[in-house]
Structures are given as C-alpha cells and as structure tokens.
Structure 1
Amino acid sequence: MDSLHTLFDTIGGVVWGPFVLIPLLLGTGLWLTIRLGGIQFRTLGRAMRHAFIDGSSDSDSTEGDISNYQALTTALAATVGVGNIVGVATAISIGGPGALFWIWVTGLVGMASKYTEAYLGVRFRTTDAKGEQAGGPQWYLKRGIPGTLGKVLAFLFAIFAVFASFGIGNLTQANAVATNMESAFGISPTATGVFMFVALGAVLLGGIQAIGKITSAFVPLMILLYILGGITVLIIDAAQIPAALGLIFTDAFTGTSAVGGFTGAAIIQVIQFGVARGIFSNESGMGSAAIAAAAAKTPHPARQGLVSMTQTFIDTIIVVTITGLVIVVSGVWDQGREHAGTMTADAFAAALPGTWGGTIVSISIIFFAFSTILGWSYYGERSLESLFGRVVTIPYRMFFTVVVFFGAVTEIDVVWSFSDLANGLMALPNLVGLLILSGLVARETRAYLKFDPKLSKPVEEVQEFVRSQHMDWK
C-alpha cells in the first residue's frame, strides 16, 4: 500500500506539476476568456439573474430532465465540498497565503472554461434508452471532434471520471462526514456509514430527478450557513483584513518565508498548490459539471452555459475566498501542513465564542461532503453508461452506495493521492477538447448573445432562432 501511495504521488506530481496540467489549465482558461470576449466579466450579472431569478421560464422547454437551477445546484453539490474547507487550508499550509491569489486566478479564468464545457454538454447531448438526456465530455468529445481523436479523448475521460467518482466523489467524502460526525457529535463512524448507506440509496433510486430536487433544496442553505459564519469571523477580525490581503498579494509573486510551523514556499509551490486546489475546489476544466448541465431544460446551450458559469464564481470567488481570508486573518495559516485538516476549524474557533466556530465548520463539512457524494454519483453513472450502456446504471448505483459505507469506517491515505491523480487525468482530455472546439463555441455564443443580449427572449423565439441557425442539437 505504501508503494502504491508513492506511485500515485509521483505520477500526480508530474500531472499537477509546472509543465503539464497547470499551464494547460491556466492557458486554456485564458484562451477561452479571449475567444469569448471576457464572457465571465461582461455577462456575470445577467447570468446570476438568469440562474436565480428568471431562469425558471426555461423549464417550458420540451427537452431536458431537470431545471437549469437544479442542474446548477447539482453541480454545486459536487463542487462545494471538502476542498472548499480542507483543500484551501492545505494549499495555504503548503504554499502560504499567496496560494489564495492563484486559486482566484484559476477561478476567474476557469469561469470561461466552465461556460464552454457546459455549453458543449448541452450542445452535443443525446437521449439514452430511457429517454433521459445524456451529455458531458464523454459525449461532446466523441460527437464534436471527428475521427479517432475524439473517440479516444471521450474514452479516456469516461474511464478517469468513473475512477474519480469512487475516489474524490465517494470514499474521501464519506470519511470526512464520518470523522466530523464523531468529533462534533460523538457518533460512531459505523452508525454514520449505515445512515449514509440508507440515505444515499434512497436518493439514488430516483435518479437525476431526485438528486436535482434534493440539491436544489439544501445546497443553498448549506452554503448560506457557511458564508454567514465566515462573514461573522471576518467582521470580528476586520482590522486584520488589509494586512492579510497585502500578505496574499505579496506572497503570490515572491513565495513565503518560514514562520512558526510553516516551512516556507518557493514561488512555484505557491502557484502549483494554488492552481491544484483551485481546480480541486471548483472543477473548472475537469468537465464534470457539463454532465449535470446536459440534463437541464434549456432552449439554448448558451443559457445553461452562463448559468453553470456562476457555479465557479460562487464556489471560488465567494466560498473559497471566505475560507482563505478567515485562515489568513486569524493567523493560524503558519501552523504547518500536518494541521491543515483542522486549520479552518481553528480559525473559526479563534474568533467565535465557545464551540460555535468548530461546530459550524464540522456541520459545513458534513453537508458539503454528502452533497458532493450525490453529485458525483451522477457523474460516475453517466460516464460508465457512455461506455457500456444503460444496463450498468443499477449495478453502479448499488456498488456506489455500498462503497460509501466503507469510506465512512475506513481511512485510506492512498485514496487521497489517487483522487488527486484521477482529477488531473480527467482534466487532460477535456482541456484538449475545449481548445479544439473553442471556435464553434465562440461563434455560436456571439450569434446567440447578439440575438438575445438580456437572456430574456421567450422560449418559442429562442427555438425559432435555433432552427434558423441550423443547429443540430436536442
């Protein structure tokens, strides 16, 4: 097991190193930002309004399994997880406060990547044997890129996504729930495992419709709880915020000297762990959110692309920022890597009275982790289905539900290394595909936003526009 752990760490170090995934992630996001005319900056307000206020009218569309809001919350359920709390702390504990700056950069350019992959998820989706929408990189890479290359990229993505669903999407999250249930409320991991087994199985029986209903109900509440707790801490420590921001921006370009339990970080470490934890948190460029976007009821891919884009903004620019700032302003960031797992809780506890700080973080981790399990169960199922057909759906759900129990009662360090590696390997074929298909997305996006700049056209008019553009999509 130790040798396997070392192997995963070694390969992961190459994949996530300065010459493979980091330049590809940042370069793809920057390229898409340019090709799409800075879409994440000039349309964010409209996208947020459409996602949370007037986007329900899109449900009148005849195609799709869930509303675009439910698709957004399903994707948020999968991305707003332990990475937003422990992952950010890990990045800062290794790379220093400057890592938060590179998380922001990853998020900002990643919004263009998230828009593009969600657009393509809807644009090239298909209908499965049960009449449900199926889409994501495993479909748009194969259908959008002709020849062998597209098929190979789609196959690689699907394989890595299935493995990732059991790693970062199940075992690690289940362990996080069980650990925090035991530390916060004294509930044994076995009892937690049994409860998650039953709860997850009940939800998965209903498929994407049940997942969409559950996530649309509790995801906003869980995020709001954490945000309010974090804002309270920042208000209490408001005097420290200017110095903390100065430290973040300075260390982003100079590295961090050793202080306290912190061993110091070179600039390459700051960037590496900032970018790695950034994508670990918001999944922009990984292609996973496109699987949920493909199930949305929407009259045009651009509308769902814009809605999905807000997910990265919420995840990184809001939730991750609160975590990072709380850690830096509280001064606990220099405790050392071995304290990364409790660093966020320590930061909250330092400002809030009694045990409130630790309790808020523990409850947030529990909800964040369980919601991630729900979202990733759908991602893995759809990826496996693209390889073997609908026949694997029920066996996958059953096995996925069983695995969550074992994740709760066992702690396997190698799973974390494997999860990081699987996430990185997922992103590689998807990013190549985004670059190849960027011209199509840019051209069709410009045409749609010229036709409907306010995202307010009735569904019937949008459908007529689609016909006039001869777009072959469902």
Structure 2
Amino acid sequence: MLQFIETVNSAVNNFIWGVPAMVCIFGVGLYLSLRTRFLQIRKFPYAIKTTIGRMFRKKNASDGALTPFQAVCTALAATVGTGNIAGVAGAIAIGGSGAIFWMWISAILGMCTKFAEVTLAVHFREKNADGDLVGGPMYYIKNGLGKRWMWLAYLFAAFGVLTVFGTGNATQVNTITTAINSALIDFHVISNDAVSTSNLIIGIVMAVLVALILLGGVKRIGQVTEKLVPFMALLYIVLAVGVIVINIRTIPTVFASIFEGAFKPSAVTGGIVGSMFTSMKKGVSRGIFSNEAGLGTGSIAHACADTKKPVKQGMFGIFEVFTDTIVICTLTALVILCSGTTIEYGAAAGAELTISGFTSVYGSWVSIFTAIAMCCFAFSTILGWGLYGARCIEFLFSEKVIKPFMVAYSLVAILGATANLGLMWSIAETFNGLMAIPNLIALFLLSGTVVRLTKEYFATEGAK
C-alpha cells in the first residue's frame, strides 16, 4: 500500500512541479513585479522602515483582531519553520548547491507575490459570525472576482485543509523528533533502539500542547507567536553566523558552487545531480514551502491585523519573504556548505544534515541549542498553519466545525512523529503545488486591483 501511495504521489508531484508550475510561479511573480514596476526592489527601504517600525510599536488590537506585530509574527511563525532547516537541507541534497540560487530567484519575485496577497487579503476581508476578521485567497476570490469564480475559492480552501495536515503539522513534528532525538543520542540519554518510543512520546506531548493553544482562539495564537518568533529567529541567526565566521575563508568557494551548480549541477555534485531543472525544481518548491509566496496562506494571518491600510500591511509580505528566504534560508545553506559536513547527493535529507553542519563546527554540545531552535521553528509553524486550516474549513462549512478540526489537527502530531520522512515531505510538496494553482490564478486576475491600491496609497501617503 505504501509503495502504491509513493508511486501515485510521485506521478502527481512530477506533474505539478513540472514545467507548467515553474512557468506559473515565476510568471505570476514576474508579471506582478512588472505591473508594480518592481515595487519589492524600488520600495524595499520603505518596506523595511515601515515593517520594523510598526512591529515594535505597542498597540492593543480590537476584539477579533491581531496587532500588526502579532499578525506578522503569526505569519512568520508559519513561514520560518522546518522549510528553513530541513527544507533547505533537502533542496541541497537532491538538487545540489545550485538549488539555493533558484530559491533566491523565486524569493525575489515572491516578495512582490506575497505583497499582492497580503494587500488583497486586507482589502477584501470580512467579519465572521463571531466578529473575528477573516480573509485570505478564498475571500479575495469571493469578494474580488465574484460568484462565477466561487469554485476557485472552494478549491483553494479544500486544498488548504488537506495541506495543513502535512505541510503545517506532520513534517514539522517530524523535524522536532529528529532534533530532540539527535540531541538525546549525542548526550547518551537514549540509544538508537529507543528512538521509536521517544518519537511516540514526543508526538503525544506535541498533540496536547498544540490543542491547548489552538483551542484558545486567534488571540492566544498571536500572544504565543509574538514571544516565540523573535526568540527563535535570534538564537538561530547567532548560531549560524558563528559557523560562517569560523569558516569565513570557504565562503567565496561556497558562493561559486551555488552559482555554478545552478546551471551545471553535475560539476558540483560529481554527476549525481545532472539536471539543471532538478536543481531549479527543488530550489523553487522548497523555497515556496519555506516562504509561502504564491500559496496565499500568509495572507490569512495578515487579514486578522487591526489596520485600515492594505498596502501598508502588504509591506510585511516583502519583509517576511526577505527575512525567511534571503536571510534565514541562506544562513542554513551556508552552515551546511561551509562547515565541511558530508552531503549525500541524491539521497533524501532533513534536519539531521543541518544539525551535522552545526555540530561539525561547535561539537556535540551545540546539538541541544539547535534542537531548541528547531523545536521553536517547527512548533510556531504548527500554530500558524492551525489558524490557516481553521479559516479554510470555516469557509467551506461554518465556524461550528473549527474546534473539531483543531482537535483532529492536533492529533496528526502523533502521526508526524512516527511516519516516513521522505514520503511525508513529498506529499507536502504535492499539496503545496495544488494549493498554489487557484491562488496564482486569482492573483493574475486581480493584479489590476493591486496596482490601483498601490498607486492610491503612495499618492496619498507621499511615500518614497
């Protein structure tokens, strides 16, 4: 049965992430960039000034809403996760170091894509029966494109519900178990024979913690993520920068391998990864898994923000993709490539490759710190995607099904702790691709609205 699932998923995955998907993802990002005159580059200083300035401004949100800081932390909680750690490692192992180049390209275009998603989500949002602000792709399709496109909104929401269990939960818990077990084995707390038991215990604990927070509603999610995200990001960045500084002499060679590997991966991987398209596919798919630009999911959190300026909130989309992929994913790639840790090209890899990069420089003692950072990354992602899944299933049915969904979503943590890693990542990639299709169509059709809102905002704000 498992072999059948792998075969079917492989066929679907290869089709979804084939040439058409690459054209759609790059095409919509480039189209939006051209229509906004590359706003993500032209207004980048303004985006950083606006986002960082607002993030640390103390403000209480109205009922059923999040502060701008809580909104960006919830969105970052979902984006800054295992995609930055295990996802980057997997991209390098399967696509070679050149996959990082394609991850950068998709991120540059993705900054504009996510800006459009957030702007549209805030502009077309509405209030539900409980008085909470709700929005995202299904709502900007519904309110922006009209009734004849409702099938597209339902399609997105349906794929969204399916995606959250793999992308948002199972793969994250799998990374948590890998990180914790690696640290416990390094410190001789458990043996390799006890890993399966440890996995089950971790899965049960995670299920309980996730349920307690998610059942508390959007406010509790925001309160947890605004404390967890800054801590985890700072800890990870400090550790990663340390590895790079210690191996600073290898950095020019590493960057050369990234650029050469992007167009001629066989030269870097010894022929194991021979196709440029394989490198591109893994870089783009894992990049989207990490920063979510094109999926539309991050806009669901931003729609909850207590703000009246869609374009200003949209600047957080630019900031998030930059922070997630250009900064944190790049740091992970450099840790792996400059540390000298062994990379088995062509074989599935996850968090253990990144951990190996850290321990090869600092020694086994650092595994406890990397385990903490990775657990924070993954746990925060589970919370962010829990909100996304709740909004999607609410759109399909009603707010009455949210709590049963949260319970089911929490229990998936047990499955994620004990299931096969390679198949899990592959299924997550497949559902990510399926989810992106209706969203990218909507972004293309609503690009005129994005351009109009952007022009109106900068005309009235006099921003430069």
- For this structure pair, what is the TM-score category when the shorter chain's length is used for normalisation? over 0.9
Alignment partner for residue 195 of structure 1, among 185, 189, 205?
Answer: 205
Give the partner amino acid of 1:146: G
| Cα distance in 2 between the residues matched to 1:119 and 1:54 | 16
1:319 equivalent in alignment to 2:328: yes
**Do the aligned partners of residues 57 and 233 (structure 1) sit closer, same or farther apart at CA in structure 2, a change above 3 Å counting?**
closer
1:173 equivalent in alignment to 2:172: yes
Comparing 408-417 with 170-179, greater Cα deviation is found at: 408-417
Q: In the alignment, is the contact (CA less than 8 A) between 2:348 and 2:422 conserved in 1?
A: no
Question: Which residue of 1 is the match for residue 250 of structure 2?
Answer: 240
Question: Which residue of 2 is the match for residue 212 of structure 1?
Answer: 222
Question: Which residue of 1 is the match for residue 317 of structure 2?
Answer: 308
| Cα distance in 1 between the residues matched to 2:321 and 2:342 | 24
Give the partner amino acid of 1:279: I
Number of paired residues? 451
Question: Which residue of 1 is the match for residue 444 of structure 2?
Answer: 435
Question: Which residue of 2 is the match for residue 88 of structure 1?
Answer: 88
| Cα distance in 2 between the residues matched to 1:381 and 1:412 | 25
Deviation at 1:220, TM superposition (A): 1.0
Deviation at 1:431, TM superposition (A): 0.4
| Cα distance in 1 between the residues matched to 2:95 and 2:417 | 29
| Cα distance in 2 between the residues matched to 1:360 and 1:453 | 46
Comparing 61-70 with 107-116, greater Cα deviation is found at: 61-70
Deviation at 1:438, TM superposition (A): 0.5
Question: CA deviation digits over 1:303-342, x for unaligned, max 9?
Answer: 1111232111100010000011222222446422436222
Q: In the alignment, is the contact (CA less than 8 A) between 2:173 and 2:378 conserved in 1?
A: yes
Question: Which residue of 2 is the match for residue 266 of structure 1?
Answer: 275
Where structure 2 has 5 or more consecutive residues not aligned to the other structure, the ranges are 191-197
| Cα distance in 1 between the residues matched to 2:420 and 2:279 | 28
Deviation at 1:372, TM superposition (A): 0.9
Question: CA deviation digits over 1:24-53, x for unaligned, max 9?
Answer: 111111111111121111222222232232
**Do the aligned partners of residues 442 and 258 (structure 1) sit closer, same or farther apart at CA in structure 2, a change above 3 Å counting?**
closer
Deviation at 1:348, TM superposition (A): 1.6
Give the partner amino acid of 1:130: D
Correspondence 1:65-144 to 2 at 5 A: 65-144=65-144
Comparing 442-451 with 185-194, greater Cα deviation is found at: 185-194
Q: In the alignment, is the contact (CA less than 8 A) between 2:343 and 2:353 conserved in 1?
A: no
Q: In the alignment, is the contact (CA less than 8 A) between 1:234 and 1:326 conserved in 2?
A: yes
| Cα distance in 2 between the residues matched to 1:135 and 1:339 | 36
Question: Which residue of 2 is the match for residue 8 of structure 1?
Answer: 9
Question: Which residue of 1 is the match for residue 425 of structure 2?
Answer: 416
Deviation at 1:168, TM superposition (A): 1.1
Deviation at 1:171, TM superposition (A): 1.5
SS at match of 1:296: coil
Question: Which residue of 2 is the match for residue 161 of structure 1?
Answer: 160
Where structure 1 has 5 or more consecutive residues not aligned to the other structure, the ranges are 456-474
Question: CA deviation digits over 1:51-100, x for unaligned, max 9?
Answer: 23235669578686001111111111111111111111111112211111
Question: CA deviation digits over 1:412-449, x for unaligned, max 9?
Answer: 65433221111000000000100100011111111101
Deviation at 1:217, TM superposition (A): 0.4
Q: In the alignment, is the contact (CA less than 8 A) between 2:182 and 2:367 conserved in 1?
A: no
| Cα distance in 1 between the residues matched to 2:56 and 2:98 | 40
**Do the aligned partners of residues 407 and 97 (structure 1) sit closer, same or farther apart at CA in structure 2, a change above 3 Å counting?**
closer
| Cα distance in 2 between the residues matched to 1:431 and 1:12 | 18
| Cα distance in 1 between the residues matched to 2:56 and 2:337 | 39
Question: Which residue of 1 is the match for residue 194 of structure 2?
Answer: none
Comparing 100-109 with 42-51, greater Cα deviation is found at: 42-51
| Cα distance in 1 between the residues matched to 2:421 and 2:252 | 40
Q: In the alignment, is the contact (CA less than 8 A) between 2:71 and 2:302 conserved in 1?
A: yes
**Do the aligned partners of residues 232 and 451 (structure 1) sit closer, same or farther apart at CA in structure 2, a change above 3 Å counting?**
same
| Cα distance in 1 between the residues matched to 2:60 and 2:315 | 18
SS at match of 2:327: helix
TM-score relative to the length of structure 2: 0.92
| Cα distance in 2 between the residues matched to 1:31 and 1:357 | 44
| Cα distance in 2 between the residues matched to 1:55 and 1:357 | 31
| Cα distance in 1 between the residues matched to 2:383 and 2:391 | 13
| Cα distance in 2 between the residues matched to 1:209 and 1:151 | 29
Q: In the alignment, is the contact (CA less than 8 A) between 1:87 and 1:280 conserved in 2?
A: yes
SS at match of 1:285: coil
Question: CA deviation digits over 1:193-219, x for unaligned, max 9?
Answer: 232122112111221111111001011
Deviation at 1:144, TM superposition (A): 0.7
Alignment partner for residue 330 of structure 1, among 317, 330, 339?
Answer: 339
Comparing 361-370 with 334-343, greater Cα deviation is found at: 334-343
Deviation at 1:356, TM superposition (A): 3.8
Give the partner amino acid of 1:201: A
| Cα distance in 1 between the residues matched to 2:447 and 2:252 | 39
Alignment partner for residue 267 of structure 2, among 246, 257, 260?
Answer: 257
Alignment partner for residue 351 of structure 1, among 337, 341, 361?
Answer: 361
1:451 equivalent in alignment to 2:460: yes
Q: In the alignment, is the contact (CA less than 8 A) between 1:110 and 1:285 conserved in 2?
A: yes
Deviation at 1:364, TM superposition (A): 2.3
Give the partner amino acid of 2:45: G
SS at match of 2:347: helix
Deviation at 1:21, TM superposition (A): 1.3
| Cα distance in 2 between the residues matched to 1:114 and 1:215 | 20
Q: In the alignment, is the contact (CA less than 8 A) between 2:81 and 2:377 conserved in 1?
A: yes
Q: In the alignment, is the contact (CA less than 8 A) between 2:96 and 2:269 conserved in 1?
A: no
Q: In the alignment, is the contact (CA less than 8 A) between 2:261 and 2:268 conserved in 1?
A: no
Q: In the alignment, is the contact (CA less than 8 A) between 2:243 and 2:361 conserved in 1?
A: yes
Give the partner amino acid of 2:53: I
Give the partner amino acid of 1:193: G
Question: Which residue of 1 is the match for residue 375 of structure 2?
Answer: 366
| Cα distance in 1 between the residues matched to 2:57 and 2:369 | 36
SS at match of 1:86: helix
Correspondence 1:395-406 to 2 at 5 A: 395-406=404-415
Q: In the alignment, is the contact (CA less than 8 A) between 2:89 and 2:353 conserved in 1?
A: yes
Q: In the alignment, is the contact (CA less than 8 A) between 2:107 and 2:326 conserved in 1?
A: yes
Give the partner amino acid of 1:233: V
Question: Which residue of 1 is the match for residue 33 of structure 2?
Answer: 33
Q: In the alignment, is the contact (CA less than 8 A) between 1:58 and 1:298 conserved in 2?
A: no
| Cα distance in 2 between the residues matched to 1:179 and 1:333 | 18
SS at match of 1:256: helix
Question: CA deviation digits over 1:117-170, x for unaligned, max 9?
Answer: 01111111110000001100111112111242x211111100000001111111
Computed over aligned residues only, the root mean square deviation of the Cα atoms, in angstroms, reads 2.0
TM-score relative to the length of structure 1: 0.90
Q: In the alignment, is the contact (CA less than 8 A) between 2:60 and 2:67 conserved in 1?
A: no
Comparing 244-253 with 53-62, greater Cα deviation is found at: 53-62
Q: In the alignment, is the contact (CA less than 8 A) between 2:95 and 2:346 conserved in 1?
A: no
Q: In the alignment, is the contact (CA less than 8 A) between 1:88 and 1:277 conserved in 2?
A: yes
Q: In the alignment, is the contact (CA less than 8 A) between 1:61 and 1:299 conserved in 2?
A: no
